[in-house]
Amino acid sequence: MKAVDLFSKWALSGRDVGMAENHLPAVKKMLSILLKNRLKKFSFIDIGCGNGYVVREVSKHPLCFKSVGIDGSEEMIKKAKTIDSKGEYICSDISKWLPGEKVDFIHSMEVIYYLENPKRIICQIVENWLKKHGAIIMGIDFYYENKKCHSWPKDLDVKMKLLSINEWRDIFISSGLVNVKYSQINKKSDFSGTLIISGINSK
């Protein structure tokens, strides 16, 4: 099954609501890192926006002048537009889509590992989506060190790319990002935490 088909089913069943609630603690941490000490107006893209909860959250920021969500799931985008009719939500293949203009910040939560070639999409984002000195931040629960997640592709019948922390870090660095940092947050006894990786576009 394709990931977009799975998430369309979740949107139709209402499972997107619980997913957003579960991700929100990590997302708030990521946004605090991304927007810390920001004094100028900024533009923002959420990759794999789901029902648009991150786009709506960022839109509330007084310095945000453009907040866009993109997702490959048609049903998720329909739901986002139903909740927020004035927001900008785009249904498109993330690996092929290009924004009309580059943005200051890019955020992604639990998405990139579903794509066939994560390294290629990160390179494309740095080259074509992100302004010079702009920042990208990514959060994932599916990574090698989090042993609990290893069964997810079989459990969900969806292809996922399982990479280690160092492999993700190397992808960010080789894509031209600098000041690459990572951390594992919200750890529990049976959960290695959400892996957060961020970097600045030096190009």
What is the CATH classification number for the domain harbouring 77?
3.40.50.150
What digits encode the pLDDT tens for the residues 112-154?
Answer: 999 989 999 999 999 999 999 999 999 999 999 999 999 999 9
Q: In this structure, which amino acid lies at residue 111?
A: V
Give me the mean pLDDT over the 63-68 stretch: 97
Supply the range of the domain harboring residue 80: 3-201
Domain count along the chain: 1
pTM reported for the whole predicted model: 0.94
Task: Check whether 73 has a pLDDT greater than 90.
Answer: yes
Confidence (pLDDT) at 19: 85
